Chains A and B, each alone.
Chain A
Amino acid sequence: MTQATQTPPSGPAARPAPAIKVIGVGGAGLHAVAHMTEAGLAGVSFAGVHTDARALGHSQLPETLLLGGELTRGLGAGGDPDIGRAAAEAGAEKLRGLCAGADLVVVVAGLGGGTGSGSAPVVAQAVRSNRALVLSLVALPFDFEGARRQQQAALALRQLKTASDAVICLSNQKVAGLIDEKTKFFDALRFSNEMLTQGLRGIWRLVTCTGLINVDFADLCRVVRGRQAESCFATAEAAGENRAREVVAQLMAHPLLDQGRLLGEADAVLVSLAGGADLTLKEVSQVMEQLNRACEGAQVIMGAAVEAAFQDRLAVTLVVTKRNAAPTQGNVAPDLDRPEPEPPAAEFPTSALDLETQHLSRGDVARTPSRFVPPAPSLSPEKVEALLLKQGNGSARQRKQVARMRQGMLPLEVIPKGRFAKSEPTLHHGEDLDTPTYIRRGVALN
């Protein structure tokens, strides 16, 4: 369980950059990661995880892991998230091994299918139990893929939000709005992968490059670490004289930010500027001024870096987080049969470069908002038994050990059901509908 405890940080010099690992889950995830490998991100290692042995064989990734060998016989999950989930749970031990030693794990998946929707939350959970920061970078299905896949994707997204430290999602439907009608389907998917890659590149740049005004790993942690946080990102690039104004105009019109509307609702915004050696202070202040105005009330963290590759150009990457920070503990439905209590907020090895940010981030980590744990996916008892039998005793035993190690906690806040306290609870997919919706969804009222 804790085999991945890091070597004690022996000073900033010993760990110049945090280790980033990108894991592609499922078919779409593999494709996206394959695309990312070509992006030339130094210091990032890639891995692929799938239930389909053939797709895994085709991928050129350095590390691969086949999930659910016995359960699916390497034939994929067939669009059923339950199977994807079971397969990943059976391979939880291997997953932990796969991401051992990484500080930041980026789980890349396309939601809606079987493996992506089912396994990605389990992968994220496994990584988190390894005490690494988990960032999920997911693509949501196109509208034409049908309501069922949309639903599966929505459910998986909700699970991912609780399992990972931050979720950045890219709606393929919104991407479809970005490209013109004549674009070939293949190119559209490529474009979607490119968007995901850009997101990763933005994060990578944040974490690894040292800038004039530095944003580092600790800052990223601070923005994304709120549980139940959902983030989206956008990048824009412009060149020429008026590049500062143009770049902001592009961001404000960006479809992934809902034409800039999301900025207004954001709780935290991380801005990373990258420009060539000719980047002027005026440009930086111009961009920041406008962005600050757009996202009033949000915590804005900025960074600016100079890179030779950006000569004459200005690129801005935004990570926008909408955080639901309401304390929503003790809201678990009574039929929830999950022996695994939430892993405590992982103390993160912030071997950050400057002491100040490190100090800040530690303070933050200690007070991570509590959150609502979604119920286990609905499986009939027979199916559960069958799945457990198939996966042998590996995962089951693992879970038991986890349960023994952790001390049980009473919920701090009792959610009163008011006049329904004594009536028969209304359960829907394991959620108790008598509890106010806003509490179950973790919507903050302040």
Chain B
Amino acid sequence: MFDSSSAIIVGLEVGTSKVCAVVGELTPEGGLSVIGLGQARSRGVRKAEIVDPTAAAEDIRSAIAEAEQMADVEIRSVFLGVSGAHIRGFDNRGRHNIVSADREIASEDVQDVIRNAKAVNLPADHHVIHVVRQHFLVDGQPEVLNPVGMLGAQLEVDVHVVHGITNRLQNPIRTVKDLQLEVEDIVFTGVASSLAVLTTQDKELGSLVIDLGAGATEYVVYANGIIKHTGVLAVGGDHVTNDLAYGLKVSMGRAEELKIEHGAGQVDSSVKSRTISLTSDHGLPERTINLEHLRRIMSLRVTEILEIIAEDLAEAGLLDYLRAGVFLCGGGARIPEIQAVAERVFGLPATLARTQSISGLVATLDQPEFSTGIGLVKFGSFQQDRRRGSNSLGHRLKNTLTQLFQRA
């Protein structure tokens, strides 16, 4: 009975357009199944960062409540997705000299070298979110996956570090904690989405996951099975809406409707000189809008977002590694013809991402919007696995006790 709570994993994404809580359950066989989902329209978030904690807290509460009701569990802790323009990723290398007489690399050496790699020289107000191990180098020989047992004088490891500004990361954590919820870990939403949509094979082949959110667009590059690059662009679907509202001279709400109903990633010849008539609240025709303008404004913005990402990847020299192509997720993946735009911009096959290897409410879950939430649950399940590995009786007892105290 005590152990039941640890089998429940909740991913919470406080996004710009919606707050989404996904409840997953670890089955005894080690599988992961999603048993609950809660959503609420988000009001206190701009560009993927909380600007109104009170409104955000209310939305989080209602999303969590809905998820609790659906899954019929009590949620105590969450894995929280974080994003925002301040988040950056870079590669770092850690070194360690092998001092043992026979020069054989032991697992302690591996731990040491990873610790060295984690000692990143960052400004004081920055906080490291992820340190992802890439490859080991033994005496300069690259691409070593597991150096334990090899002989060498110097062991190095490449890691990918994702970091952000501490205060801005603390904002969502504080908001969640104020609701008497524990934050088990924070996860960069781009990484979470990629966990949800990529198969091991995609990671091996090399792929780019673009999460087109409302407030920000996150992207992650996998190549040879490891994370090579991460980035955030604080431009998203809201910008499209804003452009439309300004360009077509309509309200934000109307612009959002027009975007969803008539938007597309490309301007094709079929829309030339077609118009949409807007109706007022009474159902009377108010004015007409040129569909071609709508599409042009939208396609320029969408193309620009992808172009900026392509530019960044070209600078990092990663475009040639993406043999599995581009995967699009997030609400922006619903834009018609965005695949074609991505294919044109990157010169690579682009697919709409599908959430992989998770059971449960499949029909509901296979939506591009939920990839981050599901990825958070998946991230949580990996953590749980790791924890379970070191699961002695004493550990378990301690966990249970701390949990009890935390709740009190």
Interface set of A (CB-CB < 8 Å, partner B): 147-148, 151, 416-420, 423-424, 426, 428, 433-434, 436-438, 441, 443, 445
Contact = CB atoms under 8 A, between A and B. Distances in A.
A418 B47 CA distance: 13
Given A151-B311, A418-B252, A426 B243 contact: no
Interface stretch (B2-10, B59-67, B231-239): B231-239
A147 B85 CA distance: 26
14 contacts: A147-B314, A419-B252, A420-B47, A420-B238, A426-B85, A426-B233, A426-B235, A433-B233, A433-B304, A434-B235, A434-B242, A436-B297, A438-B243, A438-B247
Nearest to A415: B246
A389 to B, nearest CB: 28
B120 interface: no
B126 interface: no
A418 B245 contact: yes
Contacts of A417: 242
Contact of B242 (A147, A148, A418): A418
A285 B242 CA distance: 49
Contacts of B293: 445
Contacts of B243: 436-438
Interface string B266-297: 00000000000000000000000010010011
Contacts of A445: 247, 290, 293, 296-297
Contact of B247 (A147, A151, A424, A436): A436
Q: Interface on chain A toward B: helix, strand, loop, or mixed SS?
A: loop
A147 B347 CA distance: 12
Contacts of B238: 419-420
Contacts of B301: 436-438
Contacts of B55: none
Given A147-B314, A151-B311, A426-B234, A441 B46 contact: no
B179 interface: no
Contacts of B85: 424, 426
Contacts of B46: 419-420, 423
B308 interface: yes
A433 B238 CA distance: 12
B51 interface: yes
Interface string B181-199: 0000000000000000000
B242 A443 contact: no
Contacts of B308: 428, 433
A420 B242 contact: yes
Interface in B75-127: 85
Q: Interface on chain B toward A: helix, strand, loop, or mixed SS?
A: helix
B200 to A, nearest CB: 29
Nearest to A436: B243
A16 B316 CA distance: 56
Contacts of A151: 311, 314
A319 to B, nearest CB: 25
A434 B314 CA distance: 23
A80 to B, nearest CB: 15
Contacts of B300: 437-438, 441, 443
Given A418-B245, A426-B47, A426-B85, 5 more contacts: A420-B242, A433-B235, A433-B304, A436-B246, A441-B300
Given A426-B233, A433-B235, A436-B297, A419 B242 contact: yes
Nearest to A445: B293
Q: Which of A424, A437, A438, A443 has the most CB of B within 10 A?
A: A437
A418 B254 CA distance: 14
Contacts of B239: 420, 433-434, 436
Interface in B295-333: 296-297, 300-301, 304, 308, 311, 314, 319
Contacts of B242: 417-420, 434, 436
A363 B296 CA distance: 31
Contacts of A428: 233, 308
Contacts of A426: 47, 85, 233-235
Contacts of B252: 418-419
Nearest to B244: A436
B193 to A, nearest CB: 20
Given A428-B308, A445-B296, A418 B234 contact: no
A156 B297 CA distance: 24
B51 A418 contact: no
A426 to B, nearest CB: 4
A161 B161 CA distance: 40
A441 B243 CA distance: 13
Q: Which of A419, A428, A433, A436 has the most CB of B within 10 A?
A: A436
Given A151-B314, A434-B239, A438-B300, A423 B51 contact: yes
Interface in B206-247: 233-235, 238-239, 242-243, 245-247
Contacts of A436: 239, 242-243, 246-247, 297, 301
Contacts of A148: 314
Contacts of B47: 420, 423-424, 426
Contact of B296 (A418, A420, A434, A438): A438
A424 B86 CA distance: 11
Contacts of B297: 436-438, 445
A146 to B, nearest CB: 10
Contacts of A443: 296, 300
A259 to B, nearest CB: 15
Interface in B12-51: 46-47, 51
